[in-house]
Structures are given as structure tokens and as C-alpha cells.
Structure 1
Amino acid sequence: MFSYIININILTKPYADISKESNHEIEDEVLLSMGTIFRCESVEYLINGDFWHVKMIMIDDDNDNDVDHDSKRQILNDIQQKPILLMLGKFVLETSHNSDKAERYYRMFLESEIMSPWDKCEAYVALGLMCKNKGQYEIAIEYFETIIDICKIHSIENEHMNREYMTLSYVNIAEIYTITDFQKAIKTLNTIIELHLYSPIELAK
């Protein structure tokens, strides 16, 4: 179910109440102009009603404070290329910082039929970082090690993505070990250097 919130102070796009003209007398219908833009405010699964509720808010297309043009292009690109559950997890995490809800989306995504190993890595990165921030270090390390295993299997498919996720995983594991086991942290940092993911000078920075 979609809920649309209309800001009556936005005057760039005309709209009108057509309830009196509608064939459905009990409905409060509003006619919107073509090109009216709404921002997705939240997406929530309502267990009691057994349906998804999507809340949309009208934004001013001419107001760069709402959504800048680069963000619009990025959103459109994500919609075209990213799986919806992966997008929902990222959206919830970035907008509401609700890690529990975001985690649910990421887990649902990982349980689906996933085509791209890099999308799978993105989900595991998010889960790993959430666990790391919560102090759940052992679980976080398991997620990052899973990413490393995926990268080893698909190393020749995309060298850039492989290097990016391998580096991110090893660095996060090393950071966790600096808290829990300094010797393992040193060992992990040496692995990063041996794999030429970072040079000693870059790590020192």
C-alpha cells in the first residue's frame, strides 16, 4: 500500500481535489500533474495486515535542498541495477539508522536467488559493519571472512570489485583484532601487505 503526503506549500506543480468529480464518492481523490516528484520516506512490512506500506512525500523539484541532481542520477542508476531488497536495506540504514530493520532486508536478500557475487558481498559488508558497530565482533569477522571466500571464488570476474571487497574485509578484520587480539591484528595486516592490497606506507596512514 502506498501513502502519499502532499505538501500544500509546494506550488511548482499544480494539483486539484477531484473528489466531487469522482465516480467513487467515498474516496478523496487528488489529481496530480505529470512530473510531480515524491521521495520515499519509509518502507515497512505490516505483519498484522500482511502487506508492505510505502510512505511517499512530495518534494519540490526546484529545491536543491530536497534532492540534488547527482543524488537523483544515483537513485535512478540504483533502481535500474540494484536488487530491491538490497536497496531497501541501504535506504533504511542511511535514512532512519534502524539497523534491525535494515538487517532484515539484507537477510531476506541473501535468502533470495542472487545472481551477482558483488551484490552478495555488499549485503555481507553491511551486516558485518552493523555487527562491528554493535560490538558483535565474532559475528562481524565471520561476515567479512565470507566476503573474502566469495572474492577468492570470483577473483577473475571483476578485478576491481574483488580488490575493493577483499581490502575492505581484511581492514575491518584487522581493526576488530586491534581490540580483541593484537597479534592477530598484526597477522591480518601482514596478509594485506602480502596480497598487495595496501602498501606498508598506506597502512601507516
Structure 2
Amino acid sequence: MNKAWERLFSKAIMTLEEGNWLRAVQYLKRSCELYPDEVDAHCELADIYLQLGHIDAAHEVVQQALAVDPLNASCNFLLGNIYLAQGRVRDALKIYLYLEKISDEPSPELLFNIANAFDKKGDKKKALNYAMYATEEDPSYIEAYELTGKLFFDMGDLTEAKTAYQEILTIERNNINARQMLYVIYTRENRILEKK
């Protein structure tokens, strides 16, 4: 690996960790220009662009990286995220499911994104299976529990929804979303009991 690239990339990552994403973007852009075959810088830059909502810029940078290394899992994962952000759910799912297939142990993030994509596609059952799989792989994954709770709620299973949101509160006691959803669930349960 190129030592000059390593120094520049490390500088970018340290700057990013310090919270200065603008300077990190400058370092990463420079790295991509000077060392176009080092796809890690491309992935970091694309991820920053995606987080900032600059989807077209993120897409362009990921495509440059994939031209160099078409099988790079990180870049393909980012491409799936970009497609999901663009509303291209089918394309995102195709990439995510491919990554799941080639992975020995799919990451909780990948499983969550698959769940999220199936939810956006309208396939609640598959979304729920993947969301629950993500929580099994990482029992502290709050977003996966939120999606699990939402899916159970949407499917009318208030008991399971309640369990998912209560699990969030064991991880993060003051989670506002979980507290609000539990309030909604308890209110709905009380209305059901009153009608009986």
C-alpha cells in the first residue's frame, strides 16, 4: 500500500473523527485525485456525501470506485444505500441480497437495510424477518428494534410491537420514539378494552 496515500487517508479520517467533515472531504477528494485506485477514500467520501444528502455526488464517487474494484463490498453496500435514498428499492434490494449471499456473516447494518428496503417495497413479512435477524445479530441495534416495533404495529400485533419498544428502553432508557410509540400502543389497547 502507498505510504503517501495512507498518510493522506489517515489525516482525512482523523479530521472526520474530530467533526470537521468539510476538511475531511477536501482530504478525501485530494486522495481520490492522486490515488484513484485506492477505493477506501472513495467509499468514505461517498458516505459523507450520502449523509449530507448529496446523493448525485455520492453516486458519482461510488461509480468511480466500482470501476476500479467492482466487487468491493463496502462500495456496493454504499451503492445500495444510494439507490435506497433515490427510491430505487428494487435495485437496492438486488445489491443487498447479493451481499448477504456472498457474506459468511452478514452485518446487522446490511440486515437492517434489507429489512428497510422490503418495508419500502411493501413486503412487511420479509421486512420483519430481516429486522428481527438484525436484532439477533446485534441486540443493541435500536433502529432495528424501532423498525421491528413499527412493523408489528402496522400489522396490528400490539403485544409484539410493545415488546420491541420496551426492549429499546432497556438499551436507552430515555428514547423518545420508543416512549411515544408505547403511549400510542397503550392508548390503542385501552380503547380496544373499552369497546369490549
Larger Rg: 1
TM-score (norm 2): 0.49
TM-score (norm 1): 0.47
Q: Which has the higher helix share?
A: 2
Q: Which has the higher strand share?
A: 1
